[in-house]
Amino acid sequence: MSDASANGGRADGTLLTVDHLTMRFGGLIAIDDVSFTARNKEITAIIGPNGAGKTTVFNCLTGFYSPTVGRLTLYHGDMPFQLEQMEGFRIAAKARVARTFQNIRLFGAMTVLENLVVAQHNKLMKASGYTVFGLLGLPVYRHAEQDAIELAKYWLDKTGLTEHADLSAGNLPYGAQRRLEIARAMCSEPVMLCLDEPAAGLNPRESAELNDLLLHIRDDEQIGLLLIEHDMNVVMGISDHIIVLDHGSKISDGTPKEVREDPAVIRAYLGEEEDEELPPEVAADLVQRDGEGAP
């Protein structure tokens, strides 16, 4: 494992607390007084129908939006970080929250390896002393650069991308691009990784590999993961804790078993059946799984 994580979370395991988060866009309330906690070394899933506010939660956590109301506290190191008061680049660099996006955002013209080295620019620039001389090859910079390449290689291996290292990221097959996004996020050595629908568009085999990768990140890197996901096989299979949003409000919060037996959740999903954007199998799967535990 890389040395990213060791100090993530409070002594009781709490990594993130979201307190009374509200996000308004003009008259629209995208998130309405939502509170939850996420623990270190756990996968916390955020699920809910389209437009429920899931991505908006990520955008608030990562500084893309400044919340209308609420406190977002991340625990690691000596002092908690108040994310709602920080700018995005500081959240990434200091609070060490990394994310992927619902739509892939890679440097398509760069190689796979370059994408992973660029992700480590913070520590490379620090090692350079922010000078051209540093970049021109003083030993401290060369060491940092070598470390960056080693970490990149580690994540290439973990994501099955080693053989693609020298290809342009933009030319990778779709599933490989999704894995590269996760590798890139991990190269920034986060204490919390936020993944926005990482299984979208994956075939069943790729989806199963993604499950293994996320479990590896939880168990071997020992960081916390926040996972937005529509694929109920992924969510129910690997989550430790699930939060359900609907129309901007939290309607359920518990273990996978608790959530799938919660009538409010079943109602919210069944109500979406006619929504073309939500895969109907999501609702069907939830109902089917609800029956699985029955005698």
Ligand X SMILES: Nc1ncnc2c1ncn2[C@@H]1O[C@H](COP(=O)(O)OP(=O)(O)O)[C@@H](O)[C@H]1O
Q: Which is nearer to ligand X, 54 or 164 (by Cβ)? A: 54
DSSP code at position 95: I
Listed in sequence order, the residues at least 6 apart from 193 whose beta carbon sits closer than 8 Å to its beta carbon are 98, 99, 182, 185, 186, 217, 223, 224, 225, 226
Spacing of C-alpha 230 from chain mean position: 14
Q: Which is nearer to ligand X, 30 or 176 (by Cβ)? A: 30
Q: What, of ligand X, Mg ion, none, does residue 168 touch, CB below 5 to 8 Å by kind?
A: none
Q: Which is nearer to ligand X, 48 or 63 (by Cβ)? A: 48
Q: Residue 92 CB, nearest distance to ligand X (Å)? A: 20
Q: Which is nearer to Mg ion, 21 or 151 (by Cβ)? A: 21
Task: Look up residue 143 and give its two tokens.
Answer: 């060491």
Between residue 52 and residue 71, which ones bind Mg ion under the rule CB under 5 A?
Answer: 55
> Interface with ligand X includes 64 (CB under 6 A)?
no
Which helix (H) or strand (E) covers residue 88, if one does? helix 88-90
Q: What, of Mg ion, ligand X, none, does residue 51 touch, CB below 5 to 8 Å by kind?
A: ligand X
- Report the chain's C-alpha Rg in angstroms: 20
Q: Which stretch binds ligand X (CB under 6 A): 11-19, 25-33, 135-143, 230-238?
A: 25-33
147: phi then psi, degrees, rounded to nearest 5: -60, -40
Task: Look up residue 127 and give its two tokens.
Answer: 């090692």
Nearest to 260 by CA among 279, 288, 240: 288
Tell me how far apart the alpha carbons of residues 29 and 68 are, in angstroms, rounded to a whole number. Answer: 10
Q: Which is nearer to Mg ion, 56 or 177 (by Cβ)? A: 56
Q: Residue 30 CB, nearest distance to ligand X (Å)? A: 3
Q: Residue 102 CB, nearest distance to Mg ion (Å)? A: 5
Residue from the set 39, 41, 54, 250 that interacts with ligand X by CB under 6 A: 54
Q: What, of Mg ion, ligand X, none, does residue 111 touch, CB below 5 to 8 Å by kind?
A: none
Tell me how far apart the alpha carbons of residues 234 and 214 are, in angstroms, rounded to a whole number. Answer: 10
Q: How many residues bind ligand X (CB under 6 A)?
A: 11
Q: Residue 24 CB, nearest distance to ligand X (Å)? A: 9
Q: Residue 21 CB, nearest distance to Mg ion (Å)? A: 16
Q: What's the half-sphere exposure (Cβ side, CA atoms, 13 Å) at 154? A: 19
Which helix (H) or strand (E) covers residue 20, if one does? strand 14-25
SS3 138: coil
Largest CA distance in the chain: 71
Q: Which stretch binds ligand X (CB under 6 A): 52-60, 110-118, 136-144, 250-258?
A: 52-60
> Interface with ligand X includes 53 (CB under 6 A)?
yes
Q: Which residues bind ligand X (CB under 6 A)?
A: 25, 28, 30, 48, 50-56
Q: Which residues bind Mg ion (CB under 5 A)?
A: 55, 102
